Structure 1
Amino acid sequence: MDKTLLKGLSVLEAIAEAQGELRVIDDLAARVGLSRSNAHRTLQTLIHAGYVERDTVQGSYRATLKMFALGLKQLNRLDVRRLAPPFMACLARATGETIHLSVLDQLEVVYVDKIDSEHAVRAYTVVGGRAPAHAVATGKALLATESAARLDRLPAQLPGFTAATITDPMQLREELSKARDIGYAVNRGEWREDVGGVAAPVFDGLERPVAALGISGPLNRLTAERMAALAPRVVQAARRLSAALGYTRNSAAG
């Protein structure tokens, strides 16, 4: 294991997450657990390589667009992201809500694309942002496709974010079993207490779950009744996107 490389990646991640708020080397060193000299040396290497720059006005360090460009190249390799926009746009027109395309990364989802709702009050997310999989609809839709063996490795206590968050793994498995049966998952204010959503999994031609497609919005608009009414549209959009990726099992139903 290359410890120097790991130090560099840790420093780069800390700077990106700080979003321009890191101004003092000591703060950076404390965040990543390095000595001041090591942090300074690593930082200078990243600046030289073009991944970090210093704002001459604010005096803060920030990640450059070079890092963004690398991430964008990786995202563009995902066929699901390349093929999803027309299906997302269709779902946005049909529901009027924010549309998310997410992928699973361990116990988190990463938002790889989205279409914002035209409503003044809407769910707020950013492409590249993350959320706990057990607390959002796209995450639960993807967790529902996981094997029993993988779900058995869930932590004994899941983190809670609102009063509605499911923190008991047994209760979560029951929720995921229901999601598998009905073909979609629901978020009832479990990540942000005033935001809900509905999502369904997307499969590729090898029958692998590669993403989840979902809608989200404020719970005063996305009531339980409205989510149930819109769920078939979400499932249909996910199935059509799956068919575009070569998945055939449910294409006739879409």
Structure 2
Amino acid sequence: MDKTLLKGLMVLEAVTEVDHRPRTIEELAARVGLTRSNTHRTLQTLVHAGYIAKDDDSGEYRATVRLFELGARQLARMDVRKLAQPAMRRLAEQSAETVHLSLLDGMEVVYIDKIDSAQPVRAYSYVGGRAPAYAVATGKVLLAHQPEGYIARYADALQPHTPRTIVSMAALEEEIRKIRRQGYAANRGEWRATVGGVAVAIFNSLGQPVAALGISGPLERLTASRMRELAPAVAASAAEVSELMGYRAAAHAGPP
């Protein structure tokens, strides 16, 4: 492991010990076995990153909410895959198409689990694979639930993959509004020309989108009307997983 990263992890662990009280540089240096200057440099890096805050009056350091949020996101990502598997199996049987579970990473989605369709012609993908979020259903539905300004940061990422790929911010923003209205996203040959899909977001107990559940298959089967038919089943499956994640729709009513 990189020495700088190791130092950072050691200091973070020391700052977040169970009594939760702020600590001085001297205490932290003694706790992790580093010199005062090494500890100070590491703390400055962590303060700049937003994971630790310094009290200007006392000179002591404490962990910030951002560190908690990071941990909560990672726990959610680890839990969602296990919790989603029963719903994914049922959706695969009901739709007879490939089922994906995806996470958002910048302007890409990462496939963390999948169940292949039993049909001889099916969508090709693999666990750990990536796709442009703006061109696949799971990605588009997750983008629709991001904070204001999120998409604008990635304006330069919009690149054509097929004639149907959305490549302008105005068109993508209109697509996002449509997804929010209807509650699901559809891909009609925007990443791979002959492949389409339908997806719905999964939420955690805080109402945050942590993943997306979707189906994909060849457009000769997944016609526009077939996608509309399957959308309620996808939504029900995603809602089932969200509930297992602690999400309560009534507590988070309103626009994303």
TM-score, normalising length: structure 2:
0.67
Question: 1:244, CA displacement in angstroms?
Answer: 0.7
**Are the aligned partners of 2:101 and 2:113 in contact in 1 as well (CA < 8 Å)?**
yes
Question: 1:147, CA displacement in angstroms?
Answer: 1.4
Which structure 1 residue ranges, 5 or more long, are not aligned? 6-73
Distance 1:164 1:133, change over 3 A: same
Distance 1:214 1:227, change over 3 A: same
| Separation in structure 2 between the aligned mates of residue 157 and residue 115 of structure 1, nearest angstrom | 29
Question: 1:154, CA displacement in angstroms?
Answer: 2.7
Find the residue that maps to 1:123 and give its secondary structure: coil
Q: Percent identity?
A: 57
| Separation in structure 2 between the aligned mates of residue 143 and residue 242 of structure 1, nearest angstrom | 17
Aligned to 2:87: 87
Distance 1:93 1:250, change over 3 A: farther
Q: Does 1:214 align with 2:214?
A: yes
Which structure 2 residue ranges, 5 or more long, are not aligned? 6-73, 252-256
Amino acid at match of 1:173: E
**Are the aligned partners of 1:92 and 1:98 in contact in 2 as well (CA < 8 Å)?**
yes
| Separation in structure 2 between the aligned mates of residue 142 and residue 77 of structure 1, nearest angstrom | 14
Aligned to 1:143: 143
**Are the aligned partners of 2:81 and 2:113 in contact in 1 as well (CA < 8 Å)?**
yes
Question: 1:141, CA displacement in angstroms?
Answer: 0.7
Equivalences for 1:182-201 in 2 at 5 Å?
Answer: 182-201=182-201
Question: 1:75, CA displacement in angstroms?
Answer: 9.4
**Are the aligned partners of 1:156 and 1:169 in contact in 2 as well (CA < 8 Å)?**
no
**Are the aligned partners of 1:137 and 1:186 in contact in 2 as well (CA < 8 Å)?**
yes
Aligned to 2:111: 111
Q: What root-mean-square deviation, in Å, do the aligned CA atoms of Structure 1 and Structure 2 show?
A: 2.1
Aligned to 1:100: 100
In the alignment of these two chains, the number of paired residues is 182
Find the residue that maps to 1:149 and give its secondary structure: coil
**Which has the larger Rg?**
2
Aligned to 1:44: none
Question: 1:148, CA displacement in angstroms?
Answer: 1.8
